Structure 1
Amino acid sequence: MGLGDFKDRLQDLGREHGDKVEQGLDAAAEKAKEKFGHEDQIDQAAQKGKEFLGDSKPEPGQQ
Structure 2
Amino acid sequence: MSFMDKAKDFADDHDKQVDQGLEKAGDQVDQRTGNKYSGQVDKGVDEAQKRTGAGDTQQPQQ
Question: TM-score higher than 0.5 here?
Answer: yes
- Give 3-state SS (helix, strand or coil) of 2:30's partner: helix
Residue 19 of structure 1, CA deviation: 1.2
When the two chains are superposed, the root-mean-square deviation of aligned CA atoms in Å is 1.8
Structure with the larger helix share: 1
Residue 17 of structure 1, CA deviation: 0.2
TM-score (norm 2): 0.70
CA distance in 1: counterparts of 2:52 and 2:46, whole angstroms: 10
Q: How many residues align?
A: 56
Segments of structure 2 that go 5 or more residues without pairing to the other structure are none
Aligned to 1:13: 10
Segments of structure 1 that go 5 or more residues without pairing to the other structure are none
CA distance in 2: counterparts of 1:49 and 1:39, whole angstroms: 15
Residue 9 of structure 1, CA deviation: 4.2
- Runs of 4+ aligned structure 1 residues displaced above 4 Å come to none
CA distance in 2: counterparts of 1:14 and 1:27, whole angstroms: 16
Identity of aligned residues (%): 23
Aligned to 2:45: 46
TM-score (norm 1): 0.69
